[in-house]
A and B are shown apart, each in its own frame.
Chain A
Amino acid sequence: MPTVLKELVGIEAVSKWYMSLHVVTKIFIPFSISLSILFTKDPISVIPLILIAVAYCRISGISLSLLKRYILVIGSMTSFVALTFILFSRKPGNVIFDVTLLNIKAEKGIFEWRIFITDVALSYICLFTLRIFVMIFSAILLLGTLTDRDLVWGLRSIGLPLGFAIAASLFFRGVQFFISDFYTVREAMMARGVDFSRISLIKKFFLYINALIPLLSLMITRSYEVSMALEARGIAPGTKSRSLYHRPKMRRADYALLALNTLILFTYAMGSLC
């Protein structure tokens, strides 16, 4: 069964051992790592978390080449964080660089816009940048190891009505349906004489916006068909399934990993108090 990341970008975890873990474990590991970021106070304390997250990605068999897809995110966030600390804030500390860019004499003082870099500002830039890596690795780990079947079975195994499980499943199917509908509408536009290669970007944008009306109409039609099929099978949204084809069980490895990650989270929490 494909993972969420496989359905979105075609990359998934290949480790059968990791994929056979209980859904609770697979959710708790990235959850605990992301919660541990809260307790990091300096760049040094973030580095072990990055290593832990990378180690889990390696164990689960997720290719770290996936990081290439996040280059835009990492680049834009890092530069924004750096610019914010350099141009819009003045962190006290040993001044490394100080230049005034703009000076306006105001009624109650002087408005100064300065490039102001201190050692403390640099430390903050490092902290925020390293945190970005932990965030991204934990998100990759979650989406790369969680399948939609995990979610559906997980929701069913905790006794929620079928409405929840089917909605979760349809969400993942819906992404593919929408993309396929979009191409259908686009081809219909081209058949009516629209040449997407020649028109300007703005005109293209407005044409795509206009396409939202037929796309939503198609969504309504499809919703009707799917809901009719469900009704025809005599299933009500509130029905609770009595039988489960797959009953996930917690194994020793699950308990061990849950304990290990609780310990990591606890260590970081205690470390922030000291």
Chain B
Amino acid sequence: MTSKKSVKRKVTWLQIVTFAFATSISYVLGVVSSLIFPVLGAPGVSALYVAAAIYVPLGVWMGLWGALAGYFSCLFLGLYPSGYSIVQSLVWAFADFFEALIPVLIFKIFRINPDFSIKRPKAAKLFPILISLGAVLLLLGIAVQVVWGATLGEPFTSFYVYSVYIGTALAGLGIILGLFTGDPKTWAAYIASVILASLISGLWGAATLTLYNFPPPLPAEAFWPVFVGWVIGDLIVLSVIATALLVALTPVFKRTGLYVESWWA
């Protein structure tokens, strides 16, 4: 009898086709999000980027296919309707690649089998709000400190201290509640994924729009407004919409054989 570990899984049409369709869905949702909830002045950036709720869960379910779906949907979003050039779009699109790559790395490196079943529904409803709110306060506090507090001191330093304390407390409470929601390993990995993915994606996305690109389409001074808008939008979408999709569809992906155990297959 062949043991499960010795079977080498190969990439099948099912994964390729699902990746292609998921890329289309992410692209359409990306276009709709950036038109309905735009971060004004930064085309393609949305304060509620619903597309992230497709390719980030896809990363949890289908490994690197999710990251690729994020990259290509963002590449086309950069070209139309955002109007960035092909070179700028090729660089910028890595923001969404990294956004889906973070959960892939966390779930695969720590060998976590995602089990998003919910044992305490109230905790499941509350924790995304607390984590989003806490992370937003933390981010605002850090932004104020970096831009003004470091050079001008009070009252900006006090704002920084209070927002960081309150933000950390709320996010901490959210994380604890999240661990009580169901399987602690899965939820801890997911919460870490949401926060890290939003930050890293926002950092790359805002930096390639304002600081480093061929050339950056926006002035360097626009970095902070774009970064804060990007991260807040992603945090809300990932913690609310992506969580709902993961809870509802993880059993479906596992049952249909679409779930990828390794990186690609």
Contact = CB atoms under 8 A, between A and B. Distances in A.
Listed residue (B17, B72, B87) with the most chain A CB atoms within 10 angstroms of its CB: B17
B79 A142 contact: yes
B245 interface: yes
Contact of B28 (A106, A142, A178): A178
Contacts of B148: 106, 111
A69 B81 contact: yes
Given A212-B53, A219-B18, A237-B13, A178 B215 contact: no
A112 to B, nearest CB: 10
B214 A73 contact: no
A115 interface: no
Contacts of B85: 30, 33-35, 37, 134-135, 138-139
B215 A177 contact: no
A83 B222 CA distance: 9
A41 to B, nearest CB: 10
A135 B84 contact: yes
Given A84-B222, A175-B27, A219-B21, A139 B152 contact: no
Contacts of A38: 87, 214-215
A70 B81 contact: yes
Interface string B11-29: 1111011111111110110
A132 interface: yes
A contact face: mostly helix, strand, loop, or mixed? helix
A174 interface: yes
Interface string A142-167: 11000000000000000000010011
B21 A177 contact: yes
B250 to A, nearest CB: 11
Interface string A4-37: 1100110000000000000000010011011101
B38 A109 contact: no
Interface string B83-97: 111111100000000
B172 interface: no
Contacts of B89: 139
Contacts of A136: 83
A134 B249 CA distance: 43
B152 A107 contact: yes
Given A163-B16, A223-B17, A138 B86 contact: yes
B14 A76 contact: no
B83 A139 contact: yes
Given A216-B245, A237-B16, A84 B219 contact: yes
Interface stretch (A57-65, A225-233, A253-261): A225-233
Interface in B36-50: 38, 40-43, 50
B152 A77 contact: no
Contacts of B23: 171, 174
B258 interface: yes
A177 B23 CA distance: 12
Contacts of B245: 212-213, 216
- By Cβ-Cβ distance, the 5 closest A-B pairs, closest first, are A80-B41, A174-B24, A34-B85, A107-B153, A170-B20
Interface of A: 4-5, 8-9, 27, 30-31, 33-35, 37-38, 40, 69-70, 72-74, 76-77, 79-81, 83-85, 88-89, 104, 106-109, 111, 124, 128, 131-132, 134-136, 138-139, 142-143, 163, 166-168, 170-175, 177-179, 209, 212-213, 215-217, 219-220, 222-224, 226-227, 230-231, 235, 237-238
26 contacts: A4-B80, A37-B85, A76-B38, A77-B42, A80-B41, A81-B222, A83-B41, A84-B218, A88-B221, A107-B157, A108-B151, A111-B152, A135-B88, A136-B83, A168-B20, A170-B17, A171-B20, A171-B23, A171-B24, A174-B25, A175-B28, A212-B245, A220-B18, A220-B256, A223-B21, A237-B13
